[in-house]
Amino acid sequence: MELTVIAKPYANAIFELAQQDKSHLQWKMVLDTGAQLLIDEQLRKLIASPDVLKQDKLSTIKALLKSILARELSEHEATFIGMLLDNNRTNALPSIATLFESLMNTTNDVKMFNVISAYQLSKPEKKQIVSDLENQYNKVVSIDTTIDKDLVGGVIVKDGDKVIDMSIKAQVDELRLRLSITH
């Protein structure tokens, strides 16, 4: 059975939960992080092992997610991970994450941005950017972050074709252009 067919009911159910309590970003982070964890061959072997108890598998995954996300999983998130393990559907997690993001992007209440910075943004910095964008667009905002060492400092926020360049590199380039015009 194709993973997208398996993933769709899970993604739809999670999306409905996220709609109820506006937890889209939290769910997206759990799904994306979980999908990234499954890249690790040792974790996949642990999950597939019949010698390891389901509770131990769940505890391991919850501990990894807690460490990476720097927070406890919600009751719904922990139940979801347990359900994937019970139903042997952890291999569908990347597809669930992709479908969930698609649902987020098609909903009018959620807006997705790509934020490029010169360094890894801290959690407070990410929260501030999300808060500023939510206030500006009056929508729930989700951000993906990437690093570009050439920026020196500041950020670039991309919304599809629209680019808001608040990087030091852009400011230096603009200053260079103004100085070349005046001389």
**Same domain? 115 vs 100:** no
**Same domain? 73 vs 114:** no
Count of structural domains within the chain: 2
Quick check: 148 pLDDT over 90? no
Percentage of the chain beyond pLDDT 70 is 97
Quick check: 14 pLDDT over 90? yes
| Enclosing domain of residue 171 | 110-182
What are the tens digits of pLDDT across the range 18-39? 988 888 889 999 999 999 999 8
pLDDT band at 183 (very low <50, low <70, confident <90, very high): low
**Same domain? 9 vs 62:** yes
| pLDDT of amino acid 32 | 92
**Same domain? 121 vs 100:** no
- Tell which of 105, 121, 146 closes a domain: 105
pLDDT (average), residues 73-90: 93
Indicate the average pLDDT of the chain. 88
**Same domain? 131 vs 47:** no
Pairwise CA distance, residues 11 & 9, whole Å: 6
| pLDDT of amino acid 52 | 92
Decide which of 92 and 180 is more confident. 92
Instruction: Please report, for the domain that includes residue 65, its CATH number.
Output: 1.10.520.20
Backbone angles phi, psi at 171, to 5 degrees: -65, -40
Pairwise CA distance, residues 107 & 52, whole Å: 40
Quick check: 142 pLDDT over 90? no
| pLDDT of amino acid 147 | 87
**Same domain? 11 vs 98:** yes
**Same domain? 48 vs 93:** yes
**Same domain? 129 vs 159:** yes
| pLDDT of amino acid 73 | 92
**Same domain? 101 vs 22:** yes
Quick check: 15 pLDDT over 90? yes
**Same domain? 36 vs 94:** yes
Instruction: State the amino acid at position 120 in one-letter form.
Output: Q
- Tell which of 105, 136, 160 closes a domain: 105
**Same domain? 10 vs 78:** yes
**Same domain? 14 vs 89:** yes
Quick check: 182 pLDDT over 70? no
- Tell which of 87, 105, 123 closes a domain: 105
pLDDT (average), residues 3-12: 91
